[in-house]
Structure 1
Amino acid sequence: MAQMSLSYWLRKNKMNLAGQAPISLRITVGRKRAEYSTGIRVAPDSWEVGKHRIQGEGEEVADYNQLLKNTHAKALRVKDTLETAGQPVTAAAIAAALREGVQATAVHVEPGPLFPPQPLTTTLTLSEATSNATRRSNTVAFQHNHLIRTPLRMGVLEARIFVEALRGINHGPNGDTALPPIDIPLSAILGKDDSAAAYAAVRQACKDLYAKDINLLQVGARKESYHRTRIVSDIELLAGSGRIRGNFAPLMQPYLLQLTSSGNFTSADIATLLTLSPNAQRLYWILKSYANLGEGRAWKQALSIEDLKLLLLQDATLYPVYAEFKRWVLEPIIDEFHSKDVAFPVSWEAVKTGKKTTGILFIIPKPRTRTAAPTAPVAAALNAAPDPFTVWLAGQSKKLQTAYAGLTSHSSSSKNSNHLSPTVAQAIVRHVAGQPELETVLYTTRHRIATSKEAIKDKAGYSYKQLVTALGREFR
């Protein structure tokens, strides 16, 4: 049996401008070492060397310390798995397995010098496990049209959690008669990314989803009526459990359950929803709800700019200049709709009052009848999760998110784009993240480059050179 030792240490030689150093797990098997970066950064005076933990109080510190325990447990589990399979146990192999995303499900911390024995998960009964597996196999989500057309704005992870919660509701003659509890594997939201930053982003998304309250008008109520409710009554992310659990608010039941008999509902393919950004997902639901009015025929639906901003952004005052709303909201959504994985061929025209654009006319074509099985990309999307960078970016400032969108924009109809590849853009935003001064420099420089009136043949090359001058070459 191979002898392995594990220890956390603070890499002070990698300290960032904020004075925080990354925490690494040092894995030693025999005389060879390997390291695994936990993704957690702390100030040196907050690190307890002897206890291998972060000092302090509060939920974030508790989460990070639990993640350190989880990572330690996973390393032990990988070692056991390699030995059981008769494979060589090496420090490099264990570090590689951790980087590939070993899940925490059913892992227990083994007694050792760092941590006392403590279970990391709650064991499900056979019936509960079977029920959860059945719900996870659902491929279609349903919502009442009243809920779909209620102003609501969500972030990337919030929207994903909401869709996965809808997946857990069974419809049809033998479906649920009451809203079931929300029970989502964390891997459905994060994939294999179990870094501290990803965990913190999911925690914040749960908080944001719990804080959402909407004016959900009852069926038959007048438009000026007031009927406010939360979406979820409770939600929890229990450290080490590998699951998100909670419950929908009771008042949500008529809008999420037993909709097949009402005739006033819309369904959507879950795999398609999970490929869409939050704004695109919202408009997709809205347009499909109106398309149902066509009863199989092409349908046109006009929405005022104010109503559209209210539905998508929950604030009609945002983007007061239509050109900016078109550039940053509408055009990216339409690009997503027309992608091969979504293939929602909706088109739109500006509705003008005089010279001012006051609305959008959406043209929704007649639905096409599917005669073949789902394509491979759509089937794969069923179990897809946002890549680690998307999860990381969701936890950054709005300014940085906007800058990244502009850096990677290739819109031929907009001058406000930089045409950089995602790889280059990601390196740049990671370099400036957490440094307010550099974030501001990136934001202003990117916009200045994109809106330049100078004739530029190679927009990507020009953008890159200007950003290198403004930010330095460290991100290269």
Structure 2
Amino acid sequence: MEPEERPTRPEGIRIFSGINGQSSGLPMDAMQTRLHEVAFLSNTFVRSPLALNNVEARIFALALGCLHQKQDTLAFRIHFNDITRGGSTGGKQYAELAAAQTRLTQPIINTSLKNGKKRRDAISLFNILSLDEGTNLITGEFNSRLKEHLLDLTGKFTTVELESLLTLKNAHSQRLFWIMRSYHNQTWEEPLPFETLREWLFGENSEQYADWTDFNRYVLKPAIEEFRAIGWQVDVTMQKRGRRVEALVFKMTSTRETLVPVAKAKKALTLTEIEEFRKMLEATYRELPALYDRLRLDFELKEYQAREVVQNIKDLTAYRSVTKVLHDVRIALANRKPIKSLPAYTLSQLKAVLPVYQTLGATPAAPATKKAPAVQEALRAQLHEVQERLKFVQKEAPTNLFSEQEKAARIAAIKAEIVELTEKLAQ
């Protein structure tokens, strides 16, 4: 059975009870022009039927990247070339985007059964989705009925680094990445029924890849290979009834775990290192990952600045001092105190209670010894992941994911990392 290029119409997000009205237009000043590094979705949304092809998945990912957790706007704008390259293909690019626009604005259908009675819900992902060939922009707004699953998330939700998500070339891989990450931080293994996973990927009542052999060959294995290329190892355990695959248990681990403690204070962590850093914080004090997120999202600190703050919190007294400072900064904002730069002001206040500019010491190098084959293999995997990141940053990253200065700094840091890993492999 050959893989199908276009899935059926998106169907069945199980989180809605009605349809919001259409919007006639969007104020330009409400739109996000800068992508954020991390995208958020509630676990309920992640684990719902949503069938997308490659172009639609990229529009969805970039639209999520325009949302800020602490703002009310659900509006976004995206450049055509960040979704599909136009080149010299004439109207082909616009035709592809128009087809995606048509599918993404169709009602999403969910049919459920309770006490023998059917219930059918329909809702759209977006209030409006507009293509403008003159500006080469897609502008839009998520359906306001989805706001609780997109903004100001405080319960069970999933975060995905946008750079990792956009590096994935296949729509099925993007959806699987969200789904696996939603289970990643659980402390227990939860079997995922095979039919449920198919429903989430292809919509309800879909016959696409109904056979496990085809699903494994054309969907799961290619996705796992893509995950490995960006620094994630996925192990799959099958639960069978006879010869039939009933459920799957996924275990997702970073292939770069051993490199995390070596990162210096002002060297940007890789996306996989950030995830491991959060685990390390939680092992130290369970409130630290949430504080780390607040520093980055609410107070707009750079990643390395937030890291320096939380790594200097050694006890509960220090934690309370930091949270009091953040509370006082919020009060100052509420009282309309003139603050030119929120992150600079926040750091200046934190400096009084923590040595936030203290350089983190690197782990002493171990004596050179001949590396075991497993270590060599891990280093090669890490080198491949770093090379993929370099390719993405240089050629494939959306133009508004980071500034030219940040792009140049990332490229330089990644190239230095490649040199370091190459030297380690040669030892």
Q: TM-score when scaled to structure 2?
A: 0.51
- Map Cα deviations across residues 441-474 of structure 1 (whole Å, 9 max, x no partner): xxxxxxxxxxxxxxxxxxxxxxxxxxxxxxxxxx
Asked whether 1:289 is paired with 2:182, we answer yes
The structural deviation recorded for 1:211 is 1.6
Give the residue type in structure 2 aligned to 1:201.
E
The structural deviation recorded for 1:158 is 0.5
Give the residue type in structure 1 aligned to 2:63.
A
Asked whether 1:209 is paired with 2:98, we answer no
Residue correspondence of structure 1 range 91-170 to structure 2 within 5 A: 128=29, 132-133=32-33, 135-136=34-35, 138-170=36-68
- SS of the residue 1:301 aligns to: coil
- SS of the residue 2:208 aligns to: coil
Corresponding residue to 2:131 among 214, 237, 256: 237
Answer whether contact 1:301 1:363 (CA < 8 A) is retained. no
CA distance in 1, matches of 2:208, 2:179: 20
- SS of the residue 1:169 aligns to: coil
Residue aligning to 1:450: none
Residue aligning to 2:141: 247
Asked whether 1:305 is paired with 2:199, we answer no
Answer whether contact 1:151 1:311 (CA < 8 A) is retained. yes
Corresponding residue to 2:165 among 241, 248, 273: 273
The structural deviation recorded for 1:142 is 0.5
Give the residue type in structure 1 aligned to 2:136.
G
The structural deviation recorded for 1:264 is 1.1
Give the residue type in structure 2 aligned to 1:143.
L
Corresponding residue to 2:122 among 217, 225, 228: 228
- SS of the residue 2:123 aligns to: strand
Residue correspondence of structure 1 range 13-162 to structure 2 within 5 A: 128=29, 132-133=32-33, 135-136=34-35, 138-162=36-60
Residue aligning to 1:257: 151
- SS of the residue 1:245 aligns to: strand
The structural deviation recorded for 1:193 is 2.6
Asked whether 1:347 is paired with 2:235, we answer yes
CA distance in 2, matches of 1:212, 1:329: 26
Answer whether contact 2:47 2:179 (CA < 8 A) is retained. yes
Residue aligning to 1:12: none
Residue aligning to 2:78: 184
Query: Could you say if the C-alpha distance between residues 140 and 146 of structure 1 is closer, same or farther in structure 2, counting changes exceeding 3 Å?
Result: same
CA distance in 1, matches of 2:246, 2:209: 13
Query: Could you say if the C-alpha distance between residues 285 and 187 of structure 1 is closer, same or farther in structure 2, counting changes exceeding 3 Å?
Result: same
Considering fraction of residues, name the structure with more helix. 2
Give the residue type in structure 1 aligned to 2:105.
Y
Answer whether contact 1:150 1:215 (CA < 8 A) is retained. no
Query: Could you say if the C-alpha distance between residues 177 and 335 of structure 1 is closer, same or farther in structure 2, counting changes exceeding 3 Å?
Result: same
Answer whether contact 1:209 1:231 (CA < 8 A) is retained. yes
Corresponding residue to 1:198 among 93, 115, 124: 93
- Map Cα deviations across residues 239-289 of structure 1 (whole Å, 9 max, x no partner): 212100121111111110111xx2311110111111221111111111111
Asked whether 1:381 is paired with 2:392, we answer yes
CA distance in 2, matches of 1:273, 1:329: 16
* Ranges in structure 1 where 5+ consecutive residues have no aligned partner: 1-123, 218-223, 388-476
CA distance in 2, matches of 1:333, 1:216: 29
The percentage of aligned residue pairs carrying the same residue is 28
Give the residue type in structure 1 aligned to 2:234.
V
CA distance in 2, matches of 1:256, 1:176: 11
Residue aligning to 1:57: none
The structural deviation recorded for 1:214 is 4.8
* Ranges in structure 2 where 5+ consecutive residues have no aligned partner: 1-26, 113-117, 271-385, 399-427
- SS of the residue 1:266 aligns to: strand
Query: Could you say if the C-alpha distance between residues 264 and 343 of structure 1 is closer, same or farther in structure 2, counting changes exceeding 3 Å?
Result: same
Q: TM-score when scaled to structure 1?
A: 0.46
Asked whether 1:328 is paired with 2:218, we answer yes
Q: Moved runs in structure 1, 4+ residues, more than 6 A?
A: none
The structural deviation recorded for 1:192 is 5.3
Answer whether contact 1:191 1:386 (CA < 8 A) is retained. no
The structure that has the greater radius of gyration is: 1
Query: Could you say if the C-alpha distance between residues 275 and 269 of structure 1 is closer, same or farther in structure 2, counting changes exceeding 3 Å?
Result: same
The structural deviation recorded for 1:212 is 5.0
Query: Could you say if the C-alpha distance between residues 205 and 317 of structure 1 is closer, same or farther in structure 2, counting changes exceeding 3 Å?
Result: same
